[in-house]
């Protein structure tokens, strides 16, 4: 295949009439050669004719707007999506999937193929990923988030914003409004949430999808836990590629070992690959132009219990501050209380630990772990939260070890060695100060901060446990944040500020 003057494609085929019979104005120009106008319609027809390596005209017609130039793998991903009405984007976490999708959707809007886009994603990334990236890559497009009360969500749908972002379970609330909202393209991020066809979540989305709608489903870890997880995803994108009923697909990919135990067949991986089509996938290792370390913020809503005590604690601090001058000692103590509360456990004045509901933060943590292709480090800055996190992960079936000041040096050495050299543990839950220097943990490519540390040195050194000599993969740092206290500390760390020397100013900003 050749590109002629950016206007036409020159194809060499055994039977040129295969093309000339379906594409107007195409013509035979030589032995087994046919010239075709290089446009979006023609490229899509050629792709549907199973002609390989058809380039999307996005390469010649699009100026890739935004604050950043696209990486080559992002261009390739966007081009693939413009030629596939229903498709999977299986690029690994940290490869810039959202940017690729935004550029592809914007191009289709310019071509008049798409008018409105509905983005369905976890609550934690509606703002921090999607709204933020839309501003970076397509600031000329209108965007709104359908979240809050039912009336607020309905108002956003009726607003005619070009991009509307909604969380998974919020979609059910406004399903009828969405169906009448003129959406042409649905993007599902972290699509593993739709692996089970029996859930209300899956059924709502399936009812909304019309035959002529575009659907792009994004996940870096398809069917990571079991081959049967591919069924729900394939049923939405490639329904003719799987049996009508789940039991039929299960029999394709699993053996029934005992009455209650099923094991994957040797051909399961190939079967899953075939049903999750059409698809594109880039691993971080393949994206040679990626930065070595990518930072991602995930918003975590405080639970009602946390919100209540956060407000009470802050009110008490405001009253205290009005009556006396704020010292660095008092500021540090009170800031730590706000950060501890955000993480789920606070030391009382008597030294007891008061625990709070952490279901929202823990749910987002599980989302990140599920999307991680390799091992994961979780830095938990407060000791009173470490055991809580580790215990919940263990109960959910993950292999976990804890590194804290209470763990003897000899045991730490053994844990680090097993983490680096064996499959288990997959997750380390770490007190940052206990592994911030001199330790190599390059078996992981994902770092999660359960909450921020107030030490710039500890923060930088902890991240460097994965980003150091021996690391063969680009790495991702995910920062969970649900309160203003956490956001302020992360912002200061980003600016390479020393929280300890600026603690009073930081504390005053929080109280304001």
Torsion sign over Cα 97, 100, 103, 105? negative
* 391 and 463 together in one domain: yes
Helices (H), 49-163: 58-61, 72-82, 97-110, 132-137, 150-158
Is the pLDDT at 480 greater than 70? The verdict is yes
Residue 442, in any domain of the structure: yes
Beta-carbon contacts of residue 63 (< 8 Å; ≥ 6 apart): none
Cβ–Cβ < 8 Å for 116, 183: yes
Instruction: Determine the Cα–Cα distance for residues 342 and 344; give it in Å rounded to an integer.
Output: 6
* 202 and 225 together in one domain: yes
* 32 and 68 together in one domain: no
Confidence of residue 482 (pLDDT cuts 50, 70, 90): very high
Is the pLDDT at 438 greater than 80? The verdict is no
Q: What is the pLDDT of residue 167?
A: 93
Confidence of residue 322 (pLDDT cuts 50, 70, 90): confident
* 24 and 68 together in one domain: no
Residue 55, in any domain of the structure: no
Q: What is the CA radius of gyration of the chain?
A: 26
* 86 and 174 together in one domain: yes
Residue 414, in any domain of the structure: yes
The pLDDT tens digits for 194-242 are 999 999 999 999 999 999 999 999 998 888 789 999 999 999 999 999 9
Query: Phi, psi (5° rounding) for residue 416?
Result: -60, -40
Q: What is the rounded average pLDDT for all residues in the chain? A: 89
* 32 and 81 together in one domain: no
Confidence of residue 436 (pLDDT cuts 50, 70, 90): low
Confidence of residue 468 (pLDDT cuts 50, 70, 90): low
Cβ–Cβ < 8 Å for 105, 185: yes
Cβ–Cβ < 8 Å for 480, 308: no
Segment 398-416 shows an average pLDDT of 89
User: Which tokens sit at 243?
Assistant: 């049996």
Residue-wise DSSP of 247-310: HHHHHHHEEE-SSS-EEE-TTHHHHHHHHS-SEE---TTT-TTS-SEEEEEEE-PPPHHHHHHH
* 10 and 131 together in one domain: no
Is the pLDDT at 129 greater than 90? The verdict is no
pLDDT over 70 for what percent of the chain?
96
Query: Phi, psi (5° rounding) for residue 345?
Result: -155, 135
Instruction: Determine the Cα–Cα distance for residues 4 and 9; give it in Å rounded to an integer.
Output: 6
Residue 367, in any domain of the structure: yes
| CATH classification of the domain holding 475 | 3.40.50.300
The pLDDT tens digits for 360-403 are 999 999 999 988 888 999 999 988 889 889 999 999 999 999 99
Apex 435 CA angle, 433 and 436, nearest 5: 65
This model's pTM is above 0.85: no
Domain span holding position 127: 63-280
Is the pLDDT at 288 greater than 70? The verdict is no
* 71 and 29 together in one domain: no
* 164 and 269 together in one domain: yes
* 75 and 170 together in one domain: yes
Domain count, the chain: 3
The pLDDT tens digits for 28-44 are 988 889 999 999 999 99
């Amino acid at each position: 295949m050749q590109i002629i003057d950016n206007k036409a494609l020159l194809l060499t085929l055994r039977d040129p009439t295969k093309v000339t019979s379906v594409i107007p104005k195409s013509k035979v120009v030589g032995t087994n050669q046919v010239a075709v106008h290089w446009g979006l319609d023609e490229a899509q027809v050629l792709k549907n004719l199973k002609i390989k390596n058809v380039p999307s005209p996005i390469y010649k017609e699009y100026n890739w707007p935004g604050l950043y130039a696209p990486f080559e793998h992002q261009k390739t991903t966007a081009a693939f999506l413009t030629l596939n009405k229903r498709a999977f984007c299986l690029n690994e976490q940290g490869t810039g999937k959202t940017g690729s999708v935004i550029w592809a959707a914007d191009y289709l809007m310019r071509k008049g193929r798409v008018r409105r886009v509905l983005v369905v994603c976890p609550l934690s990334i509606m703002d921090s990923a999607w709204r933020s990236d839309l501003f970076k890559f397509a600031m000329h497009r209108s965007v709104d988030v359908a979240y809050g009360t039912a009336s607020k969500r309905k108002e956003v749908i009726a607003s005619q914003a070009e991009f509307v972002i909604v969380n998974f379970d919020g979609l059910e609330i406004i399903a009828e409004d969405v169906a009448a909202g003129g959406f042409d393209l649905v993007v599902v991020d972290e699509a593993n949430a739709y692996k089970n066809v029996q859930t209300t979540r899956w059924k709502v989305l399936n009812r909304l999808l019309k035959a002529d709608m575009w659907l792009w489903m994004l996940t870096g870890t398809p069917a990571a836990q079991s081959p049967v997880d591919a069924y729900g995803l394939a049923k939405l994108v490639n329904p003719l590629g799987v049996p009508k009923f789940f039991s039929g697909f299960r029999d394709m990919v699993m053996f029934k070992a005992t009455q209650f135990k099923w094991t994957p067949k040797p051909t399961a991986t190939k079967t899953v690959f075939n049903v999750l089509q059409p698809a594109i996938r880039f691993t971080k290792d393949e994206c040679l132009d990626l930065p070595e370390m990518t930072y991602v913020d995930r918003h975590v809503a405080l639970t009602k219990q946390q919100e209540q005590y956060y407000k009470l604690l802050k009110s008490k601090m405001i009253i205290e501050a009005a009556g006396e001058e704020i010292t660095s000692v008092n500021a540090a103590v009170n800031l730590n209380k706000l950060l501890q509360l955000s993480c789920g456990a606070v030391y009382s004045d008597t030294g007891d630990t008061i625990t709070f509901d952490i279901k929202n933060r823990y749910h987002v943590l599980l989302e990140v772990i599920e999307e991680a292709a390799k091992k994961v480090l979780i830095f938990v800055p407060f000791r009173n939260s470490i055991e809580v996190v580790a215990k919940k992960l263990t109960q959910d079936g993950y292999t976990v070890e804890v590194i804290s000041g209470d763990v003897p040096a000899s045991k730490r050495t053994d844990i680090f060695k097993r983490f680096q050299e064996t499959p288990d543990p997959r997750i380390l839950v770490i007190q940052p100060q206990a592994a911030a220097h001199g330790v190599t943990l390059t078996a992981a490519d994902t770092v999660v901060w359960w909450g921020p540390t107030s030490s710039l040195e500890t923060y930088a050194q902890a991240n460097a446990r994965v980003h150091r000599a021996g690391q063969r993969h680009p790495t991702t740092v995910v920062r969970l944040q649900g309160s203003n206290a956490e956001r302020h500390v992360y912002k200061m760390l980003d600016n390479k500020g020393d929280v300890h020397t600026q603690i009073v100013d930081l504390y005053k900003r929080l109280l304001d």
